[in-house]
Chains A and B, each alone.
Chain A
Amino acid sequence: MKRLLWGVAALILLALPLFTDAALGHGWVRILDFALLYVLLALGLNIVVGYAGLLDLGYVAFFAVGAYCYALLSSPQFNLHWPLWVLLPLGAMVAACFGVLLGTPTLRLRGDYLAIVTLGFGEIIRIFLNNLGAPVNITNGPQGISGIDSLSVGSYNLGQTHRWGLFEFVPVVNAYYLFLIGVLLAIVFSHRLERSRIGRAWAAIREDEIAAASMGINTRNLKLLAFAMGASMGGLSGGLFAGFQGFVSPESFTLMESVMILCMVVLGGMGNIAGVVLGAVLLSVLPEALRAAGPLQQEWLGRVVLDPSNLRLLMFGCALVLMMLLRPEGLLPARARKRELHGE
C-alpha cells in the first residue's frame, strides 16, 4: 500500500510539468521550476535554522555565491565554459566555504544578535557583487552577467526542445526534471542527517548549548558544519538558477529573498522536511496565482481596484500574522517544535 502511494506520487511528480505545460503553458512550468529552486533553498536554510537553531537572515548570500560561481565559469565573461557536473559541486563547495566564513565570527552569537550579523553578511555579499565591476571587472557590477551557458547534461542540452515519442520536452520541462533530482537528493540528505549522530547533536545544541557542550559535543565544529551544509544547498540552488536563467545580477539576491526563504521555513514548519517543502511551494506558487487577480477584477468590477502586486503583499502579510497567532509552529510542524510552543 505504502509502495503504491509512493509510486503514484512519483508518477504525479514526473507527469506534472507535461500536464502543466499542456494545460497552462510554459509560464506555469517556469513557476514550478522556481518553486523547486525555492524548495532547495528552504531545505538548506532548514538545516541551519530548523536543525541547529541558528537564525540566519542572510541566507540568500549562499544562493548568490553559487549562482555567480556558475555564471563566472560558464559564460563569455571570462570565456570559460566548464561542464555542469563540475560547476554544481564546485558551487556547493564554494558556498559551503562561505558558510564557514560566516559561521566563524558568529559562533558566540545567538538569536537576535546572530540574525543581525547574518543579515549584514548577506548585504555585504550583494554589495561586493555590485561593486566588483571595477577597477578589475570580475562580476560586471550591477549589469550582471549574461549569456550564461544553458544547463546541459553531457551532450543533452536542457536549453533546447527535445522530442521523445509523443512528448515534447521544452527547456522549462527539462529544467524541472533536473531540479527535481536536486530536490530529491536534498530531501534524502536532510532526512538522513536529521536522524543521525550529527542531527542529534544539532538538536541538542538547539535545545541547550551548555548542556550539549558538557556532553562532549564540539559546539563550534557542529555549528560550522550546519552553516556549511545549509550553504552548500543554497550554492547548488544558485548554480541551477544561473544556468536556468542565463543571466545573474546582484538584484536577484536582496534581503527580501532571505526573508522570503525564512518565511517558507517558518510557515511550513521549521525542522520538518515535509513542512519546509510545503512552505516553499506555497509561498512561491501562490503569489504567482494571485497575479490572476488583476484580470479578474477587470472582468467583475470593470476596473482594477487593487493592484495585484499590492494585493500579493497584503495577503502575504495577513497570512503571516494569522499563522503566528493560530499556528506558530508552522503548517506541518516538527515534533519538537510543536511541543516547545504548545506543551504536551
Chain B
Amino acid sequence: MNSVIKPLLRAFDIHKSFGGLKALGGVSLNLEQASITGLIGPNGAGKTTFFNVLTGIYKPDVGHMEFRGKALPAGLPHVVATRGIARTFQNIRLFANMTVLENVMVGRHVRTSAGVLGAVFKTAATMREENAITARAHELLKYVGIEARTHHVAGTLSYGDQRRLEIARALATDPFLLALDEPAAGMNASERTQLGELILRIREDGRAVLLIEHDVKWIMKLCDCVTVLDYGLCIAQGPPHKVQNDPRVIEAYLGVVAT
C-alpha cells in the first residue's frame, strides 16, 4: 500500500477529560502498517476513550493524530471512516433490525457514490454499483465465515456471529486500519482461536489491526506490538515479550510489592 516504511498512525499527546475525570492524560503512540497492535490495561485505563478519540466520536482536548502522513480530523467519525479507519464496538452496535447482508452493504456506503437521481432513475452506473456492493458483501461474509446467515436478521445472530458481522461490516469500508474494541469478549476458547486466525488473515491482506483486549495471554500470542495504558497514560509499548516483563506493567496489573 505504501512503499515507504513509516508509521500508519501517529497519535501525539492526546488528552481527554470528562468533567473532573482525566480519561487520557497525554497518550502518544505509533502504529505500523500491516501490524497487529494490542491495547491493554486495567479497567478504566482509557482504552475505549482512546478508540473513541481515534475514530472521531470524541474530540480530544489536546493533541492530534496523523494517519498515513496526513492530519486526521477530530470529531468527525464519517471522515475518519473515509480516510480508512473502521471500528467495531465493545457493546456490539449492529443495525439489529436489518439483515446480515444489509449490514455489510451499509459498510460499502463510504466507497460508493450513487445519489438520489441515480437511485430514482436506476441508471446503468447505479445498477452496476449496487451489484458490486452486493457481490462484495457476500464475499466479506464468506471471509469472516458467516455466509450461512446472509439473510438472517442481524439481531438474531449468536454473540460470536454478531462480532464477526461487525468485523465484516467494518472491512466493507476498505480500511487501512481496523480497530476492534474487545472483539473476543464473551467468546469461548475455540471461538477465540478462530477469531485470532481471522485477525491474522486480515493482517496478511495488508491491513493493520488495533485491538483492545483483556485476555493478556491471547493478546500476547497474537500481537506484533503491545501498548499498555494505565490511568490515561501510556506506560509501555513494544513487542509482547518485552512488555510482559516491564516492571511498570506488572505494577499496574498486580500492584506494588510491599517493602
Contact = CB atoms under 8 A, between A and B. Distances in A.
Interface of A: 188-189, 192-193, 195-201, 203-204, 207-208, 210-219, 225, 229, 335-337, 339-340, 344
A204 B98 contact: yes
Most buried by B among A195, A207, A336: A207
A199 B69 CA distance: 34
B96 interface: yes
B7 interface: no
A336 B55 contact: no
The prevalent SS among residues of A at the interface is helix
A215 B95 CA distance: 11
A294 B81 CA distance: 62
Given A198-B115, A208-B93, A216 B81 contact: yes
B118 to A, nearest CB: 8
A120 B58 CA distance: 31
A344 B153 contact: yes
A210 B156 contact: no
A188 B97 CA distance: 24
11 contacts: A188-B120, A193-B116, A195-B119, A198-B115, A207-B95, A208-B93, A211-B95, A213-B57, A215-B109, A216-B110, A219-B78
A207 B120 contact: no
B78 A218 contact: yes
Contacts of A198: 114-116, 119
Interface stretch (B99-107, B142-150, B248-256): B99-107
Contacts of B119: 192-193, 195-199
Nearest to B156: A344
Contacts of A344: 153, 155-156
A199 B118 CA distance: 12
B110 A203 contact: no
A197 B169 contact: no
Interface in B138-164: 153, 155-156
Contact of B78 (A195, A199, A217, A336): A217
Contact of B114 (A196, A208, A336): A196
Nearest to A200: B106
A197 B109 contact: yes
Given A189-B120, A196-B126, A211-B93, A217 B55 contact: no
A204 B102 CA distance: 9
B153 A339 contact: yes
B130 interface: yes
Nearest to A228: B116
Interface stretch (B10-18, B82-90, B183-191, B217-225): B82-90
B33 interface: no
Contacts of B114: 196-198
A336 B106 contact: no
A212 B106 contact: yes
B95 A197 contact: no
Given A210-B57, A214-B55, A339-B153, A197 B120 contact: no
A65 to B, nearest CB: 20
Q: Which 9 pairs show the lowest CB-CB distances between chains A and B?
A: A216-B110, A216-B81, A196-B119, A207-B95, A211-B93, A213-B77, A336-B97, A204-B106, A197-B114
A215 B98 contact: no
B133 interface: yes
Contacts of B93: 208, 210-211
Contact of A213 (B78, B118, B155, B169): B78
A343 to B, nearest CB: 8
A72 to B, nearest CB: 27
Given A192-B122, A211-B95, A216-B82, A200 B102 contact: yes
